[in-house]
Amino acid sequence: MTPERLRALLDEVARGKATPQKAYDIIKDIPFEDIGIANLDHHRVLRTSQPEVIYGKSKTIDELTRIAKAIIAKMNNLLITRIDKTKARVLLKLSKKLRYNERGEIIVGVFEPVTKAGHVAVVSAGTSDRYVVEEAAETLAILGNNCSVVVDVGVAGIHRLFARIDAIRKANVVIVVAGMEGALASVIGGLVSVPVIAVPTSVGYGSNFGGLSALLGMLNSCSPNVTVVNIDNGFAAAYSASIINRRIAATGDQQ
């Protein structure tokens, strides 16, 4: 509920075009749908190419089914993240338009076409990080971004990174996905002049402590153009990258 909309609504009430009760109800009841176990937040679903997003982990298959059904009924695009194979199998039956990316543990449902704009690069340190890369790439696609994926260019063999630096430098935003020490974010941060969004992954040996080593490394990056999201959170990195990239692309496109 923006201030502009509130003011407009008050205007209508003042001009007798709306009753106070109705205004109250609108203010209170607008932008979500209560399906008992969840409040579907349609506020976040913008007009074009924006999906509804469900966080799949910790929800029962019954809850997931009820939520997904309510969204599919509206024919909105749909992302279900962190969804394991067993649950995915059940959910895929809800619609033929749903597709499961097993490596990224994500279900994608495109019910209306997505127009892509701009360019985001997703760069990963190792093959083991691919589950996060897939989550990010699927999210970027359905949110309407062109996306380059550059994998396995970790700093232990930095020449591999330099060979791909052309592709990376074309992007408006770079997402860096890395586990272990997470050094790739700092190195790329120093090589590009655009924002870098770093995703620490839980990949690694003993003292990585479930991704803590990469997380702390990225937070302490000496490259000041690096910001960080939660461990393994390819979705949030892609979401933030998308709003930056599309905004730049949009203003650029208007020329």
* Region 213-252 residues binding a second copy, contact defined as CB under 8 A: 213-233, 235-237, 239-240, 243-244, 247-248, 251-252
Picking from 46, 9, 45, 42, the residue whose alpha carbon sits closest to that of residue 25 is 9
Q: Is 255 in the site for a second copy (CB under 8 A)?
A: yes
| Nearest CB to a second copy, comparing residues 55 and 96 | 55
Among 43, 69, 74, 89, binds a second copy (CB under 8 A): 43
Q: Is 47 in the site for a second copy (CB under 8 A)?
A: no
> How many residues would you count in the chain?
255
Least spacing, CB of residue 46 vs a second copy, in Å: 8
Least spacing, CB of residue 207 vs a second copy, in Å: 5
Q: Which residues, at least 6 apart from 169, have a Cβ–Cβ distance to it below 8 Å?
A: 191, 192
Q: Is 89 in the site for a second copy (CB under 8 A)?
A: no
Identify residue 149 by its one-letter amino acid code. V
Q: Is 75 in the site for a second copy (CB under 8 A)?
A: no
Q: Is 145 in the site for a second copy (CB under 8 A)?
A: no
Of the candidate spans 70-78, 83-91, 93-101, 203-211, the one that interacts with a second copy by CB under 8 A turns out to be 203-211
| Nearest CB to a second copy, comparing residues 26 and 114 | 26
Q: Which residues, at least 6 apart from 245, have a Cβ–Cβ distance to it below 8 Å?
A: 117, 118, 119, 120, 145, 171, 172, 173
DSSP 3-state percent helix, strand, coil across the chain (nearest 5): 45, 20, 35
What does residue 61 show for φ and ψ, rounded to 5 degrees? -60, -35
CA-to-CA distance for 204 and 197, rounded, in angstroms?
20
Q: Is 126 in the site for a second copy (CB under 8 A)?
A: yes
Burial of 246 (0-12, 13-18, 19+ CB in 10 A): buried
Binding mask 10-29 for a second copy (x = CB under 8 A): xx-xx-x--xxx-xx--xxx
| Nearest CB to a second copy, comparing residues 94 and 216 | 216
Least spacing, CB of residue 96 vs a second copy, in Å: 25
Helix (H, G, I), strand (E, B) or coil at 117: strand
Of the candidate spans 53-61, 68-76, 87-95, 107-115, the one that interacts with a second copy by CB under 8 A turns out to be 53-61
